Structure 1
Amino acid sequence: MTSKTNKKLVTTTTTTITAATVSTSVSQQFASQLEGFIESDEEETAVPASAQSLGIRAQKKLLSKISSKSVVKVFIDDTSSHVLDNLHKLIRAYSDSKKEADKLLKSIIKTIVKLGILYKNNLFNEYELKLIEDFRSRFHSLSKAIVTFYEVDFTFDRVFLTRMCKECQDLTHKIISTHLTQKSHIRIDYIFNYLSNLQFIEYVFNSNSTATRAIIKEIVQDMNSLMDAGLL
């Protein structure tokens, strides 16, 4: 093989790898790291030693082995994944810290996956299922408010947003109270406290920021799609 051919092959291979990397979303990349932050506190699922508990552990191990894109699709649909990617952009722009944006997104994905495992294994009792429905209702109201605040001028209400975030936060704590350890409670507080921070909220809904508005526009479009599909 000539040196010219070798050079062409290397260039083609590099381009292919780069394209594949770019096409993978941030949330998909983090999902590929689930082995590290799922199995590191695998003991969090508080179920008795049984075939069921062994099955749950096996699921966690399986999640750490399959591809990043597959992991995301187990519990997070493509549209929701796109919302998370844009949330990552907002946090990175707000904090001027990729590390901070990465930390929050990883915490969100880990929480979603853990709740998904519990739900898919029918580990929530009747009371907890009612709490989940209550959470869905409040989160739906929160989502509608976010859409309205973006689409309709002079409707922004920071007090309403912080109150709804707090209610969703409290419900999440109740839902996981008998299933996960304090580590998960701390993670949930970190997520909601960050997103309900007044400075962050005002930054997100700053109508004078062209860059922020562009990201919010995409989030709102995806949220509308999720609500139309009955998923939000």
Structure 2
Amino acid sequence: MTSHTDEVAEPGAGFDSRGMGLRIQKKLLGKMSSKSIAKHFIDETTSKVLDTTYKIIKEYSNKKDAEKMMKYLIKIVVKVGILYRNDQFNSDELAMAESFKKKFHSLAMTVISFHEVEFTYDSGFLKSSIEECRQLLHTLIDRHLTDKTKGRVDYVFQSFCDENLMDVIFAPEGKFRDLMANIVINLRKMMDEGNL
């Protein structure tokens, strides 16, 4: 006669240690602070971009909005990273991830160009690129993450699509010029390191 624990551990008994491990990682993620998550999952250069983005959002809006956006953004990045590292994406989703990476790289190049080259800023083009990234990310996470997380994705991308924010960020003599210069330096570094 086998004990209850032996039955659970037997193949086909419905126990999936890998799936359970993934659920536990996601659950722990929900209980961790943004700074704690960032230390363990996000490299130094990406962290600098996020910190500078936080400063911009805080000054543009307020501390509460900036903290909420960074918390959501970090959780999204980490959850997608956990799914990827645990081989949860099928071949179609891996192709989608590659499309997202290329589109996001292109978006970063656009941001760099708009900052460095006067009179190139085009809010409509930028909003369209951000929206394409949002749609690709939604397709990638559709069968893996909750509606709550999908709502966070929408919140983050809609925040970056704020035309007034974009206008202020890319104003040639605007108050965020130095912070944007810092972001551009680190975006370039991320590209050099192969992280973007």
Same fold, judged at TM 0.5 (above): yes
The Cα offsets for residues 66-90 of structure 1, whole Å up to 9 and x where unpaired, read as 9987742443110000100000011
Structure 1 CA distance, aligned partners of 2:29 and 2:143?
Answer: 23
Find the aligned partners of 1:65 and 1:189 in 2 and give their Cα distance: 21
Q: Give unpaired runs (5+ residues) of structure 2.
A: 1-13
2:19 paired residue among 53, 57, 64: 53
CA displacement at 1:63 relative to structure 2: 5.7
Cα distance in 2 for residues equivalent to 1:103 and 1:152: 31
Which secondary structure does the structure 1 equivalent of 2:166 belong to?
helix
Task: State the 4+ residue runs in structure 1 displaced beyond 6 angstroms.
Answer: 64-70
The answer for the alignment partner of 1:174 in structure 2 is 139
Q: Secondary structure at the match of 1:101?
A: helix
CA drift at 1:213: 0.3
TM alignment of 1:119-198, pairs within 5 A: 119-198=84-163
CA distance in structure 1 between the partners assigned to 2:182 and 2:90 by the alignment: 36
For the residue of structure 1 that corresponds to 2:145, the secondary structure is coil
| Residue number among 47, 58, 74 corresponding to 1:92 in the alignment | 58
Q: State the distance in 2 between where 1:146 and 1:162 align.
A: 11
1:78 equivalent to 2:44? Answer: yes
User: In structure 2, how many angstroms separate the alpha carbons of the residues matched to 1:149 and 1:72?
Assistant: 28
Q: Does 1:223 align with 2:187?
A: yes
Count of aligned pairs between the two proteins = 183
Over aligned residues, Cα RMSD in angstroms? 2.1
Identity of aligned residues (%): 43
Q: How far does residue 208 in structure 1 lie from its aligned partner after superposition?
A: 2.2
What's the TM-score once normalised by structure 2's chain length? 0.86
| TM superposition score normalised by structure 1 | 0.73
Gaps of 5+ in 1: 1-47
